[in-house]
Structure 1
Amino acid sequence: MTAAVPSVTLAKDAARAHRNARRRRTAVPYLLLAPALLTFGVFKAYPVIDSLLLSFTTGSGTATHAAGVANYRRLLDDPLFWTALRNTGEILVLQVPLMLGLALLMAVGINSTLVRWRTVWRLGVFMPSVTGLVATGVIFAYLLKSDDGAVNWLLDIVGLPAVDWLGQPFWARMAVVLVLTWHYTGYNAVIYLAGLQSIPRELYEAAMVDGAGPIRRFTAITVPGLRPVLLFTIVLSTIGTLQLFDEPYVLTGGGPDNATLTVSMYLYQNGFRFFDFGYASAIAYALTLLVSVLGAVQMRLMGERER
């Protein structure tokens, strides 16, 4: 009986040591993840939660008080918010199909075996996307000047009348569309080019043997083969355009007559010009909801087609 006591004690000590070692092994991954989790919590999660709480307050600067859903009701009756939303939607409807259509055509052209110096062409079409957004806006602001801009100078050479690109509401929106298309078309073309190179060449060869022409091969092989890539670029381009800020801010400042005022610019004005952070936060969450709904609809529609 006396010999059993030390053996029981030793067994308990061994079990305790095993549990402690297991806890240490389990804690190691969390310790390694701790810096990233801390950074995410401080710079991502906390601002998101704080802005959500802020959207239920009203006031200027730090003098705020609880307001319930008053900011969201204010959104529904704010004509300037609906103007910004309409401007953003019009730019989206015009720019995204134009940009992605041109990007797809460019990718198909560069991917052709008939094109020489394809590496140079790839670099050339991608270069605009690495240009800074502010620099792009400043450059195009000079190019599109109504009196001595290079674009109107070229129009005059070919006998066309000058256009007040930045002074007329319609042409100001077209200028924003032009800048966005120039900046992002090459980026999407490179993505499509990567997708094209994953489509087996045997499919095209078999289609040519069957007598399919270029258009038929494009619609029956290229487009279906690029469907996941198309979905990716459509969703990202939609999200990016709904968050549009830099280009119209630098190019037109939201004018003329709020013709290029976007939702993100209106959010910025309320938050950092009028210091109405509660209303600005409500605009941000309204935009987040819109982005989420449109993204889910696009993925749902493209997913059904894929099945």
Structure 2
Amino acid sequence: MARRQQRPGLLFVLPAIVLFGLFFAYPLIASLWQSFFATRGGTTTFVGVDQYARLFSDPLIAKSLGTAAILLVIQVPLMMCLAVGLAYLLNQSWLKFRTGFRVLYFLPAVTTLVAYSVVFRVMLATDGGAVNQIIGLLGVAPIDWLNNETWARVALIASITWRWTGYNMVIILAGLQAIPEELYEAARIDGAGRWAIFSKIVLPQLRPVLLFTGVTSTIGALQLFDENFILTGGGPNNATLTPVLYLYEVGFRQFDFGYASAIAWLLVILTAVISLIQFRLTREKP
């Protein structure tokens, strides 16, 4: 009887299982298998772990991982701090037009990646770009945003932060609204100030939300492709080259799918390790 009762449920989940197998499990296993092969002269041969050994001697891998590290160290913390600050501000009862501000800050998250990247590319153009025109009014010389290594990274960080801060803000705001009002009242009765309430009540209560947004932001930084592909194409001098963009270059321009699969699995391992570290660092102490 128990098996008979389970059959309808299995039938309902069967489409999801089939889709998961076709579009996630099979490509994952196939890419791992392909990473052990190389195609030379039209012939595919088994090379073992040679593709993975090649990763350690590839300067572009190091360059792309360096860009990803810059994003993880600078862009992700900057975006998280802005998201927490905006969410905390928009959660205050004294603030007027809170709904309008929430919609305004969330609007970038609903724009398409390609559209906003193109807009930023036009705005950051060296000649005639809106940003250079504005800073020119202040007496600042035009900046070659997209053709200078340092400024290209700054432009990339600014564009990503603009796009995703509102998205994380909404998630953190939902976490703030789930904090019981009694905790705030008890803290005020005990004489706690605003900073004490924020550091001793708000942040600890937001730990699961911050963990979620931190992990997803980390994954997004490691998988960055659209913005730098459109803004700079990975340049100048590979200054904004990311692992996924390099994977695209290797797989779909050089047609070296074995090595591209090895790069993909390198990303899988890095993402898992960094996410595990974040889980360990943010978990509640017993």
Deviation by residue 1:235-268 (Cα, 9 ceiling, x = unmatched): 1111110111110001100000000000000000
In the alignment, the residues of structure 2 paired with residue 223 and residue 28 of structure 1 have an alpha-carbon distance, to the nearest angstrom, of 44
- Alpha-carbon offset, residue 210 of structure 1: 2.7
Task: Trace 1:100-139 onto structure 2 (pairs within 5 A).
Answer: 100-139=80-119
Q: Name the CA distance, whole Å, in 2 between partners of 1:222 and 1:236.
A: 21
TM-score normalised over the length of structure 2: 0.95
Closer, same or farther: CA 99–60 of 1 in aligned 2, 3 Å: farther
Query: Quick check: 268-277 or 113-122, which moved more?
Result: 113-122
Across the two proteins, how many residue pairs are aligned to each other?
286
Q: Partner of 1:6 in structure 2?
A: none
1:261 equivalent in structure 2: 241
Root mean square deviation of aligned Cα: 1.6
Q: Which of the two has higher C-alpha Rg?
A: 1
Q: CA deviation at 1:27?
A: 4.0
Q: CA deviation at 1:45?
A: 1.1
Of residues 121, 135, 154, the one that matches 1:155 is 135
Counterpart residue number, 2:154? 174
SS at match of 2:44: strand
Match of 1:221 among 193, 196, 201: 201
In structure 1, what residue type is equivalent to 2:59?
A: P
Q: Is the 8 A contact 1:166 1:172 kept in 2?
A: yes
State the percentage of identical aligned residues.
50
Work out whether 1:241 is the aligned partner of 2:221: yes
Matches of 1:151 and 1:126, distance apart in 2: 22
Structure 1 residue 120 displacement after superposition: 1.0
What is the alpha-carbon distance in structure 1 between the residues aligned to residue 48 and residue 63 of structure 2? 25
**Amino acid in structure 1 at the alignment position of 2:244:** S
- Tell me, in whole angstroms, the C-alpha distance in 2 between the residues paired with 1:306 and 1:158: 51
Indicate the residue corresponding to 2:59 in structure 1.
79
C-alpha deviation, 1:269, in angstroms? 0.4
Q: Deviations over 1:150-202 (max 9, x none)?
A: 11111111222321110110110111100000000001111111011111222
Contact 1:56 1:70 in 2 (8 A): yes
Ranges in structure 2 where 5+ consecutive residues have no aligned partner: none
Q: Which runs of 5+ in 1 are unaligned?
A: 1-20
Does structure 2 conserve the Cα–Cα contact (< 8 Å) formed by 1:61 and 1:275? no
Per the alignment, residue 39 of structure 1 pairs with 19
